[in-house]
Structure 1
Amino acid sequence: MGKGFYISKPLGFVLFGLGAGAVLTIFALSVVYVQEKRKNEVNARDGTRIVTTAAPHRTSAPSNEAWDKYRLPDALLPEYYNVTLWPRLVPDEEGMYIFTGKSGVVFTCLKETNLILIHSNELNFTLTSEMHHAKLTGLGGTSAPAILETWFQTQTQFMVIQLKRKLQVGKSYWLYTEFHGELSDNLGGFYRSEYTENDVKKVVATTQMQPTAARNVFPCFDEPSMKAVFHLTLLHPPGTVALSNGMELENIVISVLQTRFEPTEKMSTYLLAFVVSEFTNIRSPPEANILIRIWGRREAIESCQGDYALNVTFPILKYLENYYNTTYPLSKSDQIALPDFAAGAMENWGLVTYRELSLFYDPKVSSNEDKEWVVTVITHELAHMWFGNLVTMRWWNDLWLNEGFASYVSYLAADYVEPTWNIKDLMVQQQVQKAFDVDSLVSSHPLSSREDEVITPDQIDQLFDTITYSKVFIMCQKQLEITLLSSVVFNTVYTDLWKKLQEVVDADSSIQLPASINEIMNRWILQMGFPVVTIDTRTGSITQQHFLIHPEAVVDKPSDYNYEWFVPITWLKSGSNMGQHWLLTKTASYEPMKTDTDWLLANLNVTGYYRVNYDPQNWERLLTQLNSDHKVIPVLNRGQIIDDAFNLARADIINITLALRTTKYLYEEKEYIPWESAVRNLEYFFLMFDRTEVYGPLQAQPLFDHFKDITSNWTQKPPRYMDQYNQINAVSMACKTGVKGCSELTRMWYRQWMKNPDTNPYGKCFSKYLEYSIDPNLIRKQDITYAIVYIADNVIGQPLVWDFVRANWEHITKDFDDGSFFSGGLINGITKKFSTEFELQQLQRFKEDIAASSFTFDMQAIERAIEQTKANIKWISENKAQVMNWLIEQSD
């Protein structure tokens, strides 16, 4: 899923899914959606009498029964599904949007059992016989046992079917159900999205199955390792088009349109997708060997907002085919922009769904950042077509195998299609440093957890975070530039990856490692955090320790490795002397790193996931080099020195004034990456001090005048892509610190921008805007986090937002029940400025209120906020006076 971005040149796979099974006979469905309390009702639309039932639901105390466990037993394995669905795009007489469906699944019995457990949630079922909600048939001459009882286990989200006798091992069976559900607006499962076109409301029926919402749409074995082939038919109104993972095979008109699709590859349930809409598309030319279609609202497509996505998709696919050494396994690649979508995008195989801003680019109004976002999200999702879809993690505890690799590969593919951007250089700041921020807290978590630690849907949801997407092991990229899988592997775990990597290492004598791949990598993925490596150039001593931004925090999470990593240290000395050394213990000595006169720089080009500290003398030599000729030090390391220094100071490892001194050379720096590192870290000063006297002395912004000169007084665009980014830093920091001329410039730009009121419906007061944020008729649910956090970024708006969220959090959570997608960002955005005991007490009370409620909320996010607030309080008390004195000295 592309809510972020995301190791190596893998990864060859040879596989085209197995096609099997017959297509379900197409029929018109006439079951209407009714509340569970009703037993019978006459369908007023067509006069058909339908028998519905309030199916028995059980919520029992914890037990050892299979239906009270969240994981499926291993007795049954699905082969293929036949699913027919009919979404209603107009409300019924009660104002509800519904869908009806029929589903059959063929499964094989692997172990004797008289119990069928299949996931089902938020669905009502029609009786298929006098008493039961499902019908079981034996295949291949096998007789099916009679159903003894069926019921629904609410907590574990199972349909439970007890049989009078056991299923036979090795035999296949057909399980058939009829059901109906709500086509709600909760952005999960089978849901509706709405937009207006020519003053007419349009309704889109669309899906988001990841991670555990396929069970909300039809009964299924809803675990990633339970791969199967899906045969799908959609019924939909005339004038609409139906899309799914496979290509449309035929479109029959009876009373409604009936579209049948080619069978999918063998895949996990969370990758299934279908959309019914009035969208239009642009497509690749006939000579292309892959059909590529970009779908969206007619107005957006006709105004060419999908053109950029279409132009880059084919070269991205060709690059990835070469990279993975495997042909794209499908006949088409559909990409569709949805008005309402919770995540950034979703890698459904053959039908990738996006937020509009993740697929559409309008050169008239979109920024460089918008364009970069589009290309990196597309590359991330298309990277999943191989790694994630063809080869899938066995269980959600290894989600990082999907998302981490896709994040890494997305930068390589984006760099291929936009070679002038140097986008690979941004990976350090956009991914590695972002992971550092979260991974330096005791509330972090390992990349890979035990399977029994990730069981419930809520626990699975919480894995979709920065660590999973952005903790990329760039230190191993050379070893990972390989063909990973040379045989058919449908589901994998991280140990499979280590075995393949070890085979490559064993076959290549040029790769010298100090230990096995398993021993090296397990230390990085099975324990949270990362090390700070301290090098004493006076003695050649090297030490490592777990880096914590709040050093007094207590780590209460056990680890088999006790925070001892195998660290690949690359280094550079003045005079271009380079080397590499593996740090395998907490303390070691390495003579080549000893020097009395040369500066030494470690983690060359930031190829390792660790921070670096030095003895005071080496710090002084590095600062001297930066101030005399900074270009001798690689640009990525210039940014790294600033970022490491400020974070080491926040962790009380070095003095804060040393960190501030790393910025003095910036008067001569023109490159984006070092400036961005400085801006990000100085932002912490603004967060902590923007309401105090320290704000005044922060008045240095040499970059503003530089860009004024190279743009001919702001009339031209900087020619280099990175310079265009850095111009934003120049103007933003200049205005923030009161540089003369900046306020006048931005006011002039604002007046010009506001001359077109149709495109600028802003200017409401904060309180009214906050009220708008929880009204889905005014601000889409997917944007609630952005709207609220945007106000919280303002010094006046922040306390208003905090009060508003505390007063309305139950309503917000209830209305947006996929809380995991937004609550983490919401809490972080609101509380990042917290730095007083009073704010800490409010946050702790907020945690207690949520813990005492029955609502779903990201408690890890609140714990991180509490930890960060404690660190902020400590940092201000220890550093405010030093910072103030140093800034005053520099302004004299």
Structure 2
Amino acid sequence: MLSTILYLLWALITVRADQKLQPDEVNTVTPPEETFPWSQPRLPTSIKPEHYFLSVHPDVGSDSFTGQVRILITVVNDTSFIILNSKDLVIQEATLLGLSVPSLIYQEARPVQSQMLHRANVAQEKLVKQPMALRVLESEATEQLALLMDTPLVAGHKYQLSLSYSGKFSDSNSGIYKASYRTPADAAPRTIVATHFEPSAARKAFPCFDEPSMKAVFSLVVVRRSEHISLSNMPKLHTEAIEDGLEQDYYQTSVRMSSYLVAFVICDYAVNSAETKRGVKVSVFAANHLINQTHYALQSAVEIMDIYEQLFQIAYPLPKLDLVAVPDVEAVGTESWGLVTFREASLLYQEQRESRRSRLRVSLLTAHELAHQWFGNLVTMHCWRDVWLKEGFASYLEHIAVRHLKPDWCVVS
């Protein structure tokens, strides 16, 4: 009964991934090249993203990263420009490729020999024409790119938008950032790379339609050095060695989700794993000398997942869930789907040395971020002005979960 009431209320004030966007209220006309053609902070809805093929190479030894993204888009209304989000990125190239028919169905990306990504299955239909170079304008005030073309895009048709770009690691824990830690046996600091895209920082990692309602599926490739591992939202498909001691990890295509939920981590961590009753693999990653402090968080996460699945009567839709302890971060926790990052002190717990209050802290925070795997990730607010909805639900549900987890603690909502 509780789950039914919660989801009925949530459905009244949110949108699901498959909800159709409304047409723009403004006419899309070909603008002069020197004028940015869009004046609103929200993106137009003339373009709908369907599938991102993203390859990113964060250079751990420097302060920069490079990337390529191909976005399969559907044109909702005729338009002569594409508006999407970008912040602090340098666009090297932008092209557009038309597809032969609007009914083309794409399948999961497969590994290719080049560092870039995608091979779509076009058994009956084929890509046509040559890629069209796009003129690029940028609005720093609205964190948007305008991609201009000479030939208008036709409603109902599909296109492939390709962009090559570079950027700098974030100075804050927003976008792609670096963190460091030391081990007792090694005086030199070790560096990891992590992401935090909420509320609107995916645009600092790759050009995208960075609004919660513009959901799509994502196929990710992460390039890293061979001594590291990478993690992302979905399980890894396979690894391919490339030049200069680098390897690239190919990940399964994600469920349909908002851009702010995309996540990856590059690290040299150890792992502690278990399974839920339904067989979902739950793993906690931490520095090797801290891995013995992850047992309580792992046990709590597994039990909380079982509690939520029983409470909501909706199965967690991903095959795995990773929790990662990140040093020196501002946010105590993030909710990225399938890959949740935590401040080290918010996830680790030392048996026999810390109090029940410390266990309560770990339990509540874990329950909060896992509640978002349903409230926020599966069902999402339409835009960022309604972020209080998902946070309010998660704050309420964390206490319900911990009451089930530890009834003798007498936790109240």
- So what's the TM-score if we normalise by structure 2? 0.83
CA distance in 2, matches of 1:187, 1:259: 23
Question: Shift in Å at residue 185 of structure 1?
Answer: 3.6
Question: Shift in Å at residue 310 of structure 1?
Answer: 0.8
Is the Cα contact below 8 Å between 2:274 and 2:281 reproduced in 1? Answer: yes
Question: Shift in Å at residue 184 of structure 1?
Answer: 3.5
Which residue of structure 2 aligns with residue 88 of structure 1? 59
Which among 214, 217, 229 is matched to residue 217 of structure 2?
A: 229
Which among 274, 290, 296 is matched to residue 284 of structure 1?
A: 274
Cα deviation 1:731-757 (Å, max 9, x = unaligned): xxxxxxxxxxxxxxxxxxxxxxxxxxx
The one-letter amino acid of 1:238's match is S
Which residue of structure 2 aligns with residue 373 of structure 1? 361
Report whether the alignment pairs 1:316 with 2:282.
Answer: no
Which among 6, 16, 39 is matched to residue 10 of structure 1?
A: 6
The one-letter amino acid of 1:110's match is V
CA distance in 2, matches of 1:203, 1:145: 39
Which residue of structure 2 aligns with residue 69 of structure 1? 40
Cα deviation 1:767-799 (Å, max 9, x = unaligned): xxxxxxxxxxxxxxxxxxxxxxxxxxxxxxxxx
Question: Shift in Å at residue 329 of structure 1?
Answer: 0.7
Report whether the alignment pairs 1:416 with 2:404.
Answer: yes
Cα deviation 1:359-403 (Å, max 9, x = unaligned): 111134433222111101111111111111000000112112211
Change over 3 Å in CA distance of 1:78–1:357 after alignment to 2: same
Cα deviation 1:334-364 (Å, max 9, x = unaligned): 0101003221111100001111111111134
Which among 171, 174, 177 is matched to residue 188 of structure 1?
A: 174
Is the Cα contact below 8 Å between 2:75 and 2:154 reproduced in 1? Answer: yes
> Counterparts in 2 of 1:338-357, with a 5 A limit?
338-357=326-345
Question: Shift in Å at residue 148 of structure 1?
Answer: 5.9
The one-letter amino acid of 1:354's match is F
Question: Shift in Å at residue 254 of structure 1?
Answer: 2.5
Cα deviation 1:562-596 (Å, max 9, x = unaligned): xxxxxxxxxxxxxxxxxxxxxxxxxxxxxxxxxxx
Is the Cα contact below 8 Å between 2:37 and 2:146 reproduced in 1? Answer: no
Report whether the alignment pairs 1:400 with 2:388.
Answer: yes
CA distance in 2, matches of 1:286, 1:327: 11
Report whether the alignment pairs 1:134 with 2:105.
Answer: no
Is the Cα contact below 8 Å between 2:95 and 2:131 reproduced in 1? Answer: no
The one-letter amino acid of 1:265's match is V
Question: Shift in Å at residue 140 of structure 1?
Answer: 3.0
Is the Cα contact below 8 Å between 2:55 and 2:69 reproduced in 1? Answer: yes
CA distance in 1, matches of 2:135, 2:303: 54
The one-letter amino acid of 1:188's match is S
Question: Shift in Å at residue 199 of structure 1?
Answer: 1.1
Which residue of structure 2 aligns with residue 175 of structure 1? 161
- Return the structure number with greater strand share: 2
Is the Cα contact below 8 Å between 1:334 and 1:350 reproduced in 2? Answer: yes
- Return the structure number with greater helix share: 1
Gaps of 5+ in 1: 1-6, 19-56, 92-96, 127-132, 428-892
Is the Cα contact below 8 Å between 1:183 and 1:205 reproduced in 2? Answer: no
CA distance in 2, matches of 1:229, 1:177: 17
CA distance in 1, matches of 2:389, 2:277: 35
Which residue of structure 1 aligns with residue 145 of structure 2? 159
Question: Shift in Å at residue 419 of structure 1?
Answer: 1.2
Is the Cα contact below 8 Å between 2:95 and 2:134 reproduced in 1? Answer: no
Is the Cα contact below 8 Å between 1:293 and 1:333 reproduced in 2? Answer: yes
> Counterparts in 2 of 1:552-591, with a 5 A limit?
none
Which residue of structure 2 aligns with residue 533 of structure 1? none
CA distance in 2, matches of 1:285, 1:266: 24
CA distance in 1, matches of 2:267, 2:5: 38
SS of structure 2 residue aligned to 1:345 = coil
CA distance in 2, matches of 1:173, 1:147: 13
Instruction: Could you list the structure 1 runs, at least 4 aligned residues long, displaced by more than 6 angstroms after superposition.
Output: none
Cα deviation 1:669-696 (Å, max 9, x = unaligned): xxxxxxxxxxxxxxxxxxxxxxxxxxxx
SS of structure 2 residue aligned to 1:233 = strand
CA distance in 2, matches of 1:148, 1:310: 48
Is the Cα contact below 8 Å between 2:17 and 2:215 reproduced in 1? Answer: no
CA distance in 1, matches of 2:207, 2:269: 29
Q: How many pairs were matched up?
A: 362
> Counterparts in 2 of 1:38-53, with a 5 A limit?
none
SS of structure 1 residue aligned to 2:43 = coil
Which among 108, 113, 125 is matched to residue 91 of structure 2?
A: 125
Is the Cα contact below 8 Å between 2:175 and 2:202 reproduced in 1? Answer: yes
CA distance in 2, matches of 1:334, 1:240: 17
The one-letter amino acid of 1:330's match is L
Which residue of structure 1 aligns with residue 105 of structure 2? none
Change over 3 Å in CA distance of 1:215–1:326 after alignment to 2: same
Q: Among the aligned pairs, what percent are the same residue?
A: 33
Question: Shift in Å at residue 124 of structure 1?
Answer: 1.2
Which among 61, 64, 81 is matched to residue 115 of structure 1?
A: 81
Is the Cα contact below 8 Å between 1:145 and 1:167 reproduced in 2? Answer: no
The one-letter amino acid of 2:6's match is P
The one-letter amino acid of 1:270's match is Y
CA distance in 1, matches of 2:396, 2:359: 18
Q: Which moved more, 1:186-195 or 1:139-148?
A: 139-148
Is the Cα contact below 8 Å between 1:308 and 1:361 reproduced in 2? Answer: yes
CA distance in 2, matches of 1:121, 1:396: 17
Is the Cα contact below 8 Å between 2:97 and 2:132 reproduced in 1? Answer: no
Question: Shift in Å at residue 239 of structure 1?
Answer: 1.4
Gaps of 5+ in 2: 19-32, 102-127
Change over 3 Å in CA distance of 1:143–1:170 after alignment to 2: farther
CA distance in 1, matches of 2:130, 2:53: 19
Cα deviation 1:540-581 (Å, max 9, x = unaligned): xxxxxxxxxxxxxxxxxxxxxxxxxxxxxxxxxxxxxxxxxx
What is the RMSD computed on CA atoms of the aligned residues? 2.4
Question: Shift in Å at residue 160 of structure 1?
Answer: 1.0
Which residue of structure 2 aligns with residue 102 of structure 1? 68
Question: Shift in Å at residue 146 of structure 1?
Answer: 4.6
Which residue of structure 1 aligns with residue 251 of structure 2? 261
Report whether the alignment pairs 1:206 with 2:189.
Answer: no
